[in-house]
Structure 1
Amino acid sequence: MEIPKLIDVDAHVVEPPTLWSSRLPERLRESGPRIVYAPKGDVQLVDGKYVERPGTEGPDVAWWAYEDTWTQIKRYVAAAGVPADEVTNEGVTYEDMRPGCWIPSERIADMEVNGVEAQMCFPNYPRFCGQIFLWGKDRELALHSVQAYNDWMVEEWCGSSGGRLIPLCLIPLWDVDLAVAELRRNAARGVRAVAFSELPAYLGLPSLHSRYWDPFFAACEETGTVLSMHIGSGTRTPQTSADAPGAVGATIIFGNSVASMTDFLFSGVLHRFPRLKLLYAEAQIGWVPYLLERVDDVWETHRGWAKGQDQCPEPPSTYYYRQITSCFFKDHVGVELLDRVGLDNATFETDYPHQDGTWPRSREAAAEQFGHLDEEAVRKIARGNAIRLLGLDLPV
């Protein structure tokens, strides 16, 4: 059947240059996130973090400067409409990218071209769960920066879209009480999704097993806020060796989502908060059936020593089917295993404007992968499951 208009649960926004400089208190603007034009520089991976500095010659590109950190806006995060051979990790300017990357009205125009009715966008510069502010030295500045991003997200990015852009907010990751307060502040104005790290321990934060995050999870459950975790939001990505090409890490990065889901299933979080909903973004779905088979087998077979049943009194797959949704955009294998992934547990995405994205042919990509399914299945994956998960006022 023809693919209906999509509800896209994972796209990205390139933050506009004045987002923070127009919203932070004046005394904080000189050290808060701001755009500086300077020559391209080198990027190095140091202790799991990318460290960048501007160069000394060549054409200027757009840099985000925040305290003593520098980050180029790179071509591959603003790659919509750019031929694959021309997509690199070098810096660009705002003039080099499609206006839909950062201007709301232009984004909606690009959504129209792509057959997307509504779209939820993860951040780019602050990283996928706002961890750049976790690394900030000035906690007052970091908190104001998180709040400024959320105000911009609700009021400017989504505010004039007529519900077509779905707000996704950040939390101050360094303090669970502040996180709860910010979650509630945004939920009170209609926000129903919050970005979180798939592996908080990778960020040096308390693990899911510590129960430190329980007040935050309780607030998510109470407000109906979906805990949204983008692949790579643990920052540290799987690597096989220092000399392996980037293609290796890009292939196996879904391993982080495997680890995260296993952590959630055995931690007892989903047992203690049975109405808490999780969304895994850009992780694809083909790996899910084997993980569910394995966690259930470990839960049963190794019950004498592995402590899998201590916080997880039911087979782990029970919690998955009840509370977890994943999204995909390139996964024929996952569609073939859809009966085990769960028809109600799968949603679609476009990843606009990243290089991996399918714009402007996302509905064609959807048709190629699941257009052969029956009408109910197509509608659930393309839009129905996302509408239900996020409580959207849209027809299924």
Structure 2
Amino acid sequence: MAAGSTDQPHWSEESNMVYRIISSDSHADAPREVYIESVASKFHDGIPHVAKGDDGKNYLWVRGQKVLTMEHLREGREGGPWQQVREFDMNDADGWKPSRRLEHMDRDQTVAEVIQGGATWALFDPDPELQLAVCKVWNDWAMDVYKPYSSRIQPSATLPIKDIGAACKEVQRLAAMGYTNLQMPIYPIEMPYRKREYDPLWAVLQDTGMTVNLHIRSGTRKSTPFSAGRVHNYCVDCTDGIITASELCSTGVLERFPGLKFVFLEVGGGWAAWLMHTMDGIYNAHPETSITLKKRPSEYFKQSIFCSIMMDSVAMKTIDTLPADNLVFSTDYPHPEGTWPESQRRVGLQVAGWKDEDIEKFTHKNAERLYGFPAETPSTAELLNAVAR
């Protein structure tokens, strides 16, 4: 059976196989009052809040604009490996609390997670002063809340990039605080990552060893309208991964800064083998109009790029081109397209036929290396007792 096939999964409810799983992409944010209490009142209009629309439904609003539905969504359509078993409210007001997250990790049989998403909504705001003020609130709050639980919960800092000098100073501050990773916009269309203006930021990120997370819908490009439907909206947003990965690999960024590590989150990886094949093909066919590199573009991809996989059997079938060394797993907890509370089954569906060493890289070893998780993690009871002491 081909690796990643979902026709005859080797995992079943009766299976004794239990994988050691670390999620590279789970979500939380600070309560709204944390931002309101911590930033100047002139920024309050840019902090999201939930209110009813004219149709009586709850929406997330920013600067008077309706940006996202907050209604409780029904379970997914029946059939298919992406069907969601929803057993909790994704809008749980206490969902950020470490004890609640550990409880839900145990339910899912995942040992650790990286928390993405804090204040990333600010990266869409046109005001660079608001961006930095709000993101610093999350960065300070998240480290204060989650640092005692860092063996199993690692927060991702959020880094605005409109002011490169300020971004460099913030990276140094974050490293001193104990952060191992941060999130940047996946596709800053106003100033793409190939621009030399970013070199001071790439240098400080490389020097500090900070892993850079690039998450779907975290950039400055406006998403396609929801009137086009969720399917089209989601798929178009995933193409940001292709655009930015190509830019980093083929324009010299990763040649100048070989120590950088980028993790593409929630944009899958089925495109990666095609991209590596195409970049190398065009590089060879058009030497007179391609930027000259010391290595092929695909080699820079394998050197520095990681794809986070929730449910992408297409990517998993391309392991000969997109090796396990470049894959991490994510649950996307608590979002409805994610794998909670059945991540063990989802992993099993995708790694059938793989070698044990490749499964271990995908499920936890790459994440341990990228985010600084220990090779052995305490149980929830042990961790809570240690924190209480």
Normalised-by-shorter TM-score class? 0.7 to 0.9
Deviation track 1:98-126 (CA, whole Å, cap 9, x = no partner) reads: 35633332122111111111111221663
User: Could you tell me whether the CA contact under 8 Å between 1:238 and 1:256 is conserved in 2?
Assistant: no
Q: What residue is the counterpart of 1:38 in the other structure?
A: 51
User: Could you tell me whether the CA contact under 8 Å between 2:147 and 2:154 is conserved in 1?
Assistant: no
Which one has more relative contact order, counting CA pairs under 8 Å at least 6 apart? 2
Q: What residue is the counterpart of 2:83 in the other structure?
A: none
Q: What residue is the counterpart of 1:231 in the other structure?
A: 216
User: Could you tell me whether the CA contact under 8 Å between 1:228 and 1:280 is conserved in 2?
Assistant: yes
- Could you tell me which runs of 5 or more consecutive residues in structure 2 were left unpaired when the two chains were aligned: 1-15, 78-87, 378-389
Compute the displacement of 1:280 (Å): 0.7
Change in CA separation of 1:252 and 1:71 when aligned onto 2, cut-off 3 Å = closer
Q: Could you tell me how far apart the structure 2 residues matched to 1:75 and 1:372 are?
A: 40
Matched, 1:83 2:75: yes
Letter in 2 for 1:39: K
Change in CA separation of 1:258 and 1:237 when aligned onto 2, cut-off 3 Å = farther
Q: Could you tell me how far apart the structure 2 residues matched to 1:225 and 1:359 are?
A: 27
Which of residues 246, 252, 256 is equivalent to 2:240?
256
Change in CA separation of 1:275 and 1:384 when aligned onto 2, cut-off 3 Å = same
Q: Is the partner of 2:331 in helix, strand or coil? A: coil
Q: What residue is the counterpart of 2:95 in the other structure?
A: 101
Matched, 1:285 2:273: no
Q: Percent identity?
A: 24
User: Could you tell me whether the CA contact under 8 Å between 1:3 and 1:371 is conserved in 2?
Assistant: no
Letter in 2 for 1:361: E
Q: Matches of residues 274-353 of structure 1 in structure 2 within 5 Å?
A: 274-304=258-288, 306-309=289-292, 312-353=293-334
Q: What residue is the counterpart of 2:116 in the other structure?
A: 122
Q: Is the partner of 2:113 in helix, strand or coil? A: strand
Deviation track 1:161-198 (CA, whole Å, cap 9, x = no partner) reads: 24321121112321000001111101111111111122
Compute the displacement of 1:39 (Å): 2.0
Q: Could you tell me how far apart the structure 2 residues matched to 1:289 and 1:207 are?
A: 23
Q: Is the partner of 2:100 in helix, strand or coil? A: helix
Letter in 2 for 1:2: M
Matched, 1:170 2:158: yes
Deviation track 1:264-286 (CA, whole Å, cap 9, x = no partner) reads: 11121100011111111112122
User: Could you tell me whether the CA contact under 8 Å between 1:198 and 1:256 is conserved in 2?
Assistant: yes
Q: CA RMSD in A?
A: 2.9
Letter in 2 for 1:126: T
Matched, 1:149 2:147: no
Q: Could you tell me how far apart the structure 2 residues matched to 1:96 and 1:313 are?
A: 47
Q: Could you tell me how far apart the structure 2 residues matched to 1:172 and 1:242 are?
A: 25
Q: Could you tell me how far apart the structure 1 residues matched to 2:94 and 2:366 are?
A: 26
Q: Could you tell me how far apart the structure 1 residues matched to 2:117 and 2:259 are?
A: 26
Q: Is the partner of 1:187 in helix, strand or coil? A: helix
Letter in 2 for 1:384: K
Which of residues 190, 199, 203 is equivalent to 2:178?
190
Q: TM-score with structure 1 length normalisation?
A: 0.80
Q: Could you tell me how far apart the structure 2 residues matched to 1:238 and 1:150 are?
A: 25
Q: Is the partner of 1:84 in helix, strand or coil? A: coil
Change in CA separation of 1:291 and 1:72 when aligned onto 2, cut-off 3 Å = closer
Change in CA separation of 1:247 and 1:214 when aligned onto 2, cut-off 3 Å = same
User: Could you tell me whether the CA contact under 8 Å between 1:3 and 1:367 is conserved in 2?
Assistant: no
Change in CA separation of 1:293 and 1:58 when aligned onto 2, cut-off 3 Å = closer
Change in CA separation of 1:278 and 1:108 when aligned onto 2, cut-off 3 Å = same
Q: Is the partner of 2:182 in helix, strand or coil? A: strand
Change in CA separation of 1:183 and 1:64 when aligned onto 2, cut-off 3 Å = farther
Q: Is the partner of 1:148 in helix, strand or coil? A: helix
Letter in 2 for 1:332: S
Q: TM-score with structure 2 length normalisation?
A: 0.82
Q: Could you tell me how far apart the structure 1 residues matched to 2:360 and 2:350 are?
A: 13
- Could you tell me which runs of 5 or more consecutive residues in structure 1 were left unpaired when the two chains were aligned: 41-54, 86-93
Deviation track 1:335-382 (CA, whole Å, cap 9, x = no partner) reads: 111121012111110111112111100111001111442221211110
Change in CA separation of 1:366 and 1:97 when aligned onto 2, cut-off 3 Å = same
Q: Is the partner of 2:115 in helix, strand or coil? A: strand
Q: What residue is the counterpart of 2:33 in the other structure?
A: 18
Matched, 1:268 2:252: yes
Letter in 2 for 1:147: K
Q: What residue is the counterpart of 1:112 in the other structure?
A: 106
Which has the larger displacement, 96-105 or 329-338?
96-105
Change in CA separation of 1:300 and 1:173 when aligned onto 2, cut-off 3 Å = same
Compute the displacement of 1:8 (Å): 0.4
Q: Could you tell me how far apart the structure 2 residues matched to 1:368 and 1:256 are?
A: 27
Q: Is the partner of 1:340 in helix, strand or coil? A: coil
Q: What residue is the counterpart of 2:84 in the other structure?
A: none
Q: Could you tell me how far apart the structure 2 residues matched to 1:141 and 1:252 are?
A: 28
Matched, 1:8 2:23: yes
Which has the larger displacement, 284-293 or 250-259?
250-259
Q: Could you tell me how far apart the structure 2 residues matched to 1:72 and 1:237 are?
A: 11
Deviation track 1:228-257 (CA, whole Å, cap 9, x = no partner) reads: 101223353676x99743322323432221
